[in-house]
Structure formats: structure tokens, C-alpha cells
Amino acid sequence: MDTAATTYTQPAEKPNRWTYLLDSERFLGGAMLLPAFVYIILLVGIPFVLAILFSFSDITVGNPNIDHLTLETFQRVLNDRNFQRALSNNLFFTIASQLIILVLATTLALALTRSFRGKWLVRLLILLPWATPVAVGAITWLWLYDNVWSPIDYVFRQVHLLGVGGLIKNTTNMYWLSDPTLALWSIVVVHVWRMLPMSTVIIMAGITSISPDVKDAVAVDGAGFWQELWDVTLPLIRPITLVAMLFGIIFTFTDMTVVYVLTKGSSNTHVLASLAFQKGIEASNLAEGAATVVFMLPVLLGVAMLMLRLARRTEVR
């Protein structure tokens, strides 16, 4: 009797639950983002929520209990002349430094994207201010602005800009950080020195991303340097230039290290961050310090939305 050949098929193994999860893009994506999410919650989210709660309270170091929520703290802060001065200083430092940086960074980026001997060394020197810790850089500028031993004043004296019959002043020193007007512009110079490398690198990336075909077409049309700059290069790099300005505005507007190291807020140079530190930490008034800091949020949020909207509108499609 013929017997039919029988074939045995091994049953498929049931997929392991963990194997299924590891093969899931949704699970892996969430797992990879979890550490960053926890980091943001612990170091940014919780302090941010506490700052908002403190700003609507009357909490101090001596009385750390939030008894009730009120708007009186914001009213006191807004009516404070020091707050108004700090806000105007913030706007002045940010606008003045970013306008200067925009011109200098574009000029440097145009120069550094061309071929010349020693270009790598020039790029390295330009990047050094950004690589230097801000506190170390500010201390260096504090010595450069010294009222007695300033090297800048020494050079000015040698070229007869200072001293008896000097073209700038008859005094032997400029007193950079003592004179209110000079102190403001001295801080602007430090912000320009610090933020210029980052803006230059970003704009360089925008210039190098311009298609060679566009440059060839401009060369065929016989356009000169200035015509190419105004009609081709600047419009094409406008979106990335706005992004560079956005980063510069955020870094400058929220910085307190430069002001605190150079003047500690004297000569009417307080900014919102340094004033908040003085009120909240040194004066132990946590509520007013938090209210001063929280006020920066709507300003920066509005600037960020405006800059990103402008960048999107100017994108070349």
C-alpha cells in the first residue's frame, strides 16, 4: 500500500514582545528622545514653572511660602525706574550689537569664502572669541577697559588722542566703564566681539550653499561685484542671515555675564538678567527677581516668531 509522503512544517515562532518593540520606529524614536525630554523637564521646565509662580507671589528668601497669587509684584516691577532702564539697555545692547554684527559678519563671510593664502589661520583667529568662555573673555575686556592701566588708553596716548591737547580728550585715560555713555558702548563692543564668529560661520554656510550655476549665470551676464552682491548674494542668503540674527538676539538679550563682570550694573548699565540677579539673589526678593526674568519671555517669543516668519517669507523656492 502506497503511503502518501507527509511533510512536517515547523510552526512559526511567536515574535517576542521586546523584539517587536525594538523593531518599532515609534518605540525607538520615543526611547531616544526620552533622555532629552527628561533633561528639559528637570533643568528647564520645572524652574520655568517655579519662576512663573514666584512672579505672581510675594515670596522672599526669609518667607519661602507662597501665601497667595497677585499681580502686585508685576506692578512694582513695571513702575521701577531701574527696571525701565534695564529694559532700555537690553534693547540698546541687542539692536546696536546686531546691526554692527550684521555688517561685519557679512563682510567677513564674503572674504572668507574666497581663496587666499592663510585662510585657515584667519578662520581660526575669528573663531577664537566664540571658543573662549564668556567669563574669561569678559575679564580680559575688563583689563582692557581699566581706568588706569588700559592698553587701549596707552595706544591712544601714543598717537596723541589722549592727554594734553588730545584729539579725543585732554585727560590721560578714557575711563571706559565709569562714563555712562562710554560704558554702554563698551559693552556693545564686547557683545560684537563675542557674537561675531557665530554669525560669520552661519552666513558663510549660506554663501557656500549658493549654486555654482547661479554664479556662472551672473558671470555670463557681466555683473560686477556690487551688483552681484545686492541683486543675487544678499537676497539668497537673507533667510539664513535672519536665523543668525535670531540666535544673536537671543544670546545678547538674555546675557548677564558681560554686564556683571564689567560693571556689575553700575553706570546705569543694568540689563534685565543682571537686575533680576541683584533683586532675587543679592536682595533676597525672589518674587521681583522672577517677575523681572519672566518679562523677557514675551519679548523673546515675539522676536522669535517675527524673525522666523520673515525668514520663511524670504525663502527662495
How far is the C-alpha of 316 from the C-alpha of 240, rounded, in Å? 11
How far is the C-alpha of 249 from the C-alpha of 300, rounded, in Å? 8
- Give the residue-averaged pLDDT of 160-182: 88
Residue 254 domain flag: yes
How confident is the model at residue 17, as a pLDDT? 63
Q: What is the largest CA-CA distance in the chain?
A: 129
How confident is the model at residue 6, as a pLDDT? 54
Residues 258-307: pLDDT tens digits? Answer: 999 999 888 789 999 999 999 988 888 888 898 898 888 888 888 878 87
**Helix, strand, or coil (residue 145):** coil
Please answer whether residues 314 and 241 qualify as being in contact, where contact means their C-beta atoms are separated by less than 8 angstroms.
no
How far is the C-alpha of 203 from the C-alpha of 191, rounded, in Å? 18
Residue 187 domain flag: yes
Instruction: Report the chain's terminal Cα–Cα distance, integer Å.
Output: 79
Please answer whether residues 182 and 175 qualify as being in contact, where contact means their C-beta atoms are separated by less than 8 angstroms.
yes
Please answer whether residues 269 and 282 qualify as being in contact, where contact means their C-beta atoms are separated by less than 8 angstroms.
no
Neighbour count for residue 308 (Cβ, 10 Å): 14
How confident is the model at residue 1, as a pLDDT? 46
Residue 36 domain flag: no
Helix 180-208 × helix 119-131 angle, to 10°: 130
pLDDT value at 315 more than 80: no
Of 83-87, 182-186, 205-209, minimum mean pLDDT range: 205-209
pLDDT averaged over the chain?
Answer: 84
Residue 37 domain flag: no
How far is the C-alpha of 80 from the C-alpha of 136, rounded, in Å? 32
Residue 230 domain flag: yes
How confident is the model at residue 170, as a pLDDT? 87
User: How many domains are there within the chain?
Assistant: 1
Please answer whether residues 172 and 153 qualify as being in contact, where contact means their C-beta atoms are separated by less than 8 angstroms.
yes
* Predicted structure pTM score: 0.82
Residue 255 domain flag: yes
Residue 93 domain flag: yes
CATH number of the structural domain spanning residue 125: 1.10.3720.10
Of 93-97, 140-144, 305-309, minimum mean pLDDT range: 305-309
Domain extent, residue 137, equals 81-148+174-281+291-313
Please answer whether residues 292 and 76 qualify as being in contact, where contact means their C-beta atoms are separated by less than 8 angstroms.
no
Residue 1 domain flag: no
Please answer whether residues 270 and 243 qualify as being in contact, where contact means their C-beta atoms are separated by less than 8 angstroms.
no
